[in-house]
Chains A and B, each alone.
Chain A
Amino acid sequence: MFLNPLMLAGLGGAVLPLVLHLLARSRFRTVDWAAMMFLQAADPRERQSTRLRQFLLLLLRMVLVSLLAVALARPLVSDSFAAVASGGHLSTVVIVDASLSTSVVENGKPRSEFIRQSAIQVVTSMQKGDEVALIIAGLPGHSTQWTTDLTHVADDIASLRPAGRANMAEALVRASDLLNRSESQNRRIVIVTDRQAVSWREVDVAFRSAWRSRSRPGAALPITVAPVGNTSADNLAMASVSVLNPPVVRDQPIEIEARIRNYGNVRRAGVVVSVGIGGREITRATVDCPPDSNVPLRLSARLNEPGPAVLNAAIQMPTPIGIASDDAMDLSLDVADATKVLLISGDERAPKSSAESFFANAALQPAAAAGKPGFDPFKVTTIRTATVTPADLQSAQVAVLANVDSLSPAMATALEQFIYDGGGLLVAPGSLTRVDDYNDRLYRDGAGFLPARLTLPADAGQVIGIGQVDLAHPTIQFLRGRSELPAASIGKWFRLSPRSDARIIASLSTGDVFAVESTVGRGRVMMFATPLDADWSTLPLTSFYLPFLQSSSRWLAGGGADRNLSPGTPIVYSWTGSETRTASLLTPDGRTIALDPQRQGERAEVRYGQTHSPGVYRLRVSNSGKRDTIVPYVVGNPSDESDLTPLTKNAWSELQRDMQLQVIEPTGQSIADLLAAKRAGHEIWGLLILAVIACALLETWLSGRWSSEV
């Protein structure tokens, strides 16, 4: 096979020496010569020898021209008997990088377009009977299989859009599995990708070692990598966005943190970040981003529309730097009308001002407690322990066990389910609390939902205070900037023995735990060492009490299903009840997918797992006779993809060495031609040029030797 067969026309040039020879003979000049006697060879064999030498020189010159023509035609020599054995058919796994990083615009076009073109060239250059399997790096969930319909594969490639993160290790394993299932003996893997190092992160030393061990000795799978695009790593991305003080309550101030990551080595000054909901900007700020930095930016806002919402934080630049789609990030959240708190009180004695509910109500709904108009961020429902039922939990976001002596097993189970579903529980034991019941039913040696084991309270005989707080905990953040700890006097307290996974929020000056928290299922549980009233301490009388109780309740209500997902994490929506509901999902690319609810007893749920494409997925749940519920889920961009740092030369060299992969850098020749060359074997033009040089030298030497020196 020849890469440049047109040059074979040069073979005609092989007759050139012959023509010149004949031409020279025919265009001889006549010399009147005196010494003819010396031109007569004494030996007839000498004359024969002279003619033979002439013929040999002529032949050598013809061979020289022929070799040159063949060399210029770039012949290929097959180096694989396997190709012959398999009838020449080829099985190719084409791995196409469709990750987010390929959306970078380069020379006016997204890099993904160049990748698609190259991949299509690879596919369309295959021959009839060849089989191909397409693996899309960046879209791990898609299925692939061998096909000989090359046009269909090319169409699939043409429809690819950048999304997700490329994991070359995963793609290579899939490719290897596919090739192992192929009956063809002539197999190869072709990877068309950008130069991003992140894509190859999992192809580490261990992977390479495992890859070598997977390969048959001496028959490593030939891997060809065609990197596309330049090596610029400049990119400005929205790295994260979060609400620092959840839950988000209507008309209550929220603090939003947006982190801007500058991957480039150029300082970006005056970067404008805007935050909005439903296309309406609610706040904006400006920030400077030094080179290679991750800059946090805090913005304050109030949301006044209750219900599910998608908050959008975006970098506003006239021209996107690097990847455009990572300049913005969505956050799905719920704007609560007011957090619903179920206060289960075990001590509703008279006077009311002595009861736990009095202090809790005063702290959580101060306007209502004072009988004044105004918006309270919490709506508290107080129920005595004796009358509480599991049904009371359905409408609550946070349950508070205030000096509850003991819970019935049914109530304990309901409460546990409530927490697992995302509810919050605040436990404030008191004088009525039965320690054994708590430990046996609720703590269960760490298997229950309580974050700590209770130990009987004892009078310390002294008055102590709060000794230490965890300022990093969201419930304590209101203390930031203050130099003094709350000046509360605590005369009696439960000694709490936290679980290993519990987080201590505050401690007493004796070192005993004052407040501890743990996560249970989707919910959160906090536990105090003192009751909510002022029987054991003066805490309710301090300025610490109200913000601490409010932030704790808000924090506990902030649990529940997180609707901000990473790519590939399934969307799960569940409900309890026997009514029939239908669900459909609107994907970011505009498709509507009907979801079948799966029921198990009273619980039902819908699930969708193909969340590899970043964007907002809107789940519509219809309940007959009621208003549809629309729940937004946000699948974020893979943050790794924002890092456009290319593979270093050393890294490429290591890959080439360990994986025996070959890198085809873009040249004037199309990748299809280069691969065709590799398929047919290796080029031998260099060898032929050496032969041409050797022929030329031999011809010079022989003609010099045979014609003698002048």
Chain B
Amino acid sequence: MAYVSRYLEPNLVEKLNHLHLSARRVVEGSTIGQHRSPVKGASVEFRQHRIYTPGDDPRRLDWRVLGRTNRPYIKEYDEETNLRCVLLLDCSGSMAYAGSAISKFDYAAKLAAALAYLMLGQTESVGMGCFSRRLDAFLPPHASTSQLSRVVDLLERATPRGPSSLGDAVHEIANRLDRRSLVILISDLLAPAKLLRDGLAHLRHDRHETIVLRVLDRDEETFPFKNWSRFRGMEGERPQLFEPAMARKMYLANFESHHEQLQKDCTAMGAELVTFHTDEPLIDSVTEYLHRRMMK
């Protein structure tokens, strides 16, 4: 459990527990009007009762239980719980960068753990993959309560290193998923936009839904360096000596251009691109994001 608390801080857990959000509703928020819900038309084999939470379809209320206990429960069936979510975490060397805050990897791992906790808490199936040059580890989706421990264990074992092969990893995960799933890609996306576009196209072709969560350090957006510096690539790129003031304009232009391309590609592939900054509290960023999703 020590691992769990490392990734799921008590404050975050408390916050997530009080969100009273439907993970399914969150996911639907991203798909309504675009695709069929992955749970629509499923067979009905009763599994359990669950307390009603805002966002649940009122038609699914168990009126008998409501009448007896005066408490709102809804019936859940096995086929309804097969929301399969795969968290795809970037473990390349670039994720190890830490400016004035925690590293992007640590932030991304906590974000992954939080999402896993949220969804597992509502009995959804959650899987996870870690990739750098290739898909290094893969945890198939499962809805058991012990899945969180496995997710955390996987996070614990993951180390950011080596070059990134975002496109290959996405293709590989798409090939591994035999059922429609929700793929949440957590990465800094420091790779050519075309690779991501190809991967997203593959996922879309296999009818998977995709959310892209981009984790960035603030330095990467502002390039605040002043003195002469030798920039050494974290994924094995050739070091370069720069007077930052002279390179800033070029850097920012390239960054902006790349980001716009990512945004464009995600939109084209029906994926949502959301950026998280490591200097912003994870709790705030996650809750704000989830609320924003709910409002859609």
Give A residues with C-beta under 8 Å from B. 24-25, 27-42, 46, 50, 53-54, 703, 706-708, 710
Q: Are A30 and B232 in contact (CB under 8 A)?
A: yes
Nearest chain A CB to B144 CB, angstrom units: 36
Nearest chain B CB to A36 CB, angstrom units: 4
Q: Are A34 and B242 in contact (CB under 8 A)?
A: no
Q: Are A29 and B231 in contact (CB under 8 A)?
A: no
- Distance, CA A25 to CA B242, complexed state (A): 8
Nearest chain A CB to B116 CB, angstrom units: 25
Query: Counting CB contacts under 8 A, is B258 at the interface?
Result: yes
Of A29, A53, A710, most B-chain CB atoms within 10 Å = A710
Contact flag A707-B245 (CB < 8 Å), given A31-B225, A35-B94, A38-B254: yes
Query: Counting CB contacts under 8 A, is B133 at the interface?
Result: no
Q: Are A38 and B255 in contact (CB under 8 A)?
A: yes
Contact flag A710-B222 (CB < 8 Å), given A33-B97, A34-B94: yes
Nearest chain A CB to B108 CB, angstrom units: 13
Nearest chain B CB to A40 CB, angstrom units: 8
Q: Are A39 and B240 in contact (CB under 8 A)?
A: yes
Contact bitstring B210-249, A, C-beta under 8 A = 1, else 0: 0000000100101011011111111101011111111111
Contacts of A710 in B (CB 8 A): 222, 224, 248
Contacts of B230 in A (CB 8 A): 28-31
User: Which residue on chain B has the smallest CB distance to residue A42?
Assistant: B254
User: Which residue on chain B has the smallest CB distance to residue A37?
Assistant: B190
- Distance, CA A323 to CA B11, complexed state (A): 98
Q: Which residues of chain B from 153 to 167 have any CB-CB distance to chain A below 8 Å in the complex? A: none
Query: Counting CB contacts under 8 A, is B268 at the interface?
Result: no
Contact among B222, B231, B246, B255 with A33 in the assembled complex (CB-CB below 8 Å): B231
- Distance, CA A538 to CA B204, complexed state (A): 159
- Distance, CA A31 to CA B231, complexed state (A): 5
- Distance, CA A512 to CA B227, complexed state (A): 114
Q: Are A36 and B254 in contact (CB under 8 A)?
A: no
Of A28, A38, A54, most B-chain CB atoms within 10 Å = A38
Q: Are A34 and B104 in contact (CB under 8 A)?
A: yes
Query: Counting CB contacts under 8 A, is B209 at the interface?
Result: no
Contacts of B250 in A (CB 8 A): 38-39, 41, 46, 50
Query: Counting CB contacts under 8 A, is B251 at the interface?
Result: yes
- Distance, CA A39 to CA B220, complexed state (A): 11
Q: Which residues of chain B from 190 to 220 have any CB-CB distance to chain A below 8 Å in the complex? A: 190-192, 217, 220
Q: Are B246 and A53 in contact (CB under 8 A)?
A: yes
Nearest chain B CB to A138 CB, angstrom units: 69
Q: Are A34 and B243 in contact (CB under 8 A)?
A: no
- Distance, CA A33 to CA B219, complexed state (A): 10
Contacts of A32 in B (CB 8 A): 96-97, 232, 234
User: Which residue on chain A has the smallest CB distance to residue B104?
Assistant: A34
- Distance, CA A586 to CA B239, complexed state (A): 101
Nearest chain A CB to B2 CB, angstrom units: 29
Nearest chain A CB to B258 CB, angstrom units: 7
User: Which residue on chain B has the smallest CB distance to residue A41?
Assistant: B250
8 residue pairs, one from A and one from B, having the closest CB atoms: A708-B249, A707-B245, A34-B94, A34-B97, A38-B254, A36-B233, A28-B228, A36-B237
- Distance, CA A37 to CA B220, complexed state (A): 11
- Distance, CA A129 to CA B248, complexed state (A): 63
Contacts of A41 in B (CB 8 A): 250, 254
Contact among A28, A42, A707 with B249 in the assembled complex (CB-CB below 8 Å): A707
Q: Are B232 and A31 in contact (CB under 8 A)?
A: yes
Q: Are A707 and B248 in contact (CB under 8 A)?
A: yes
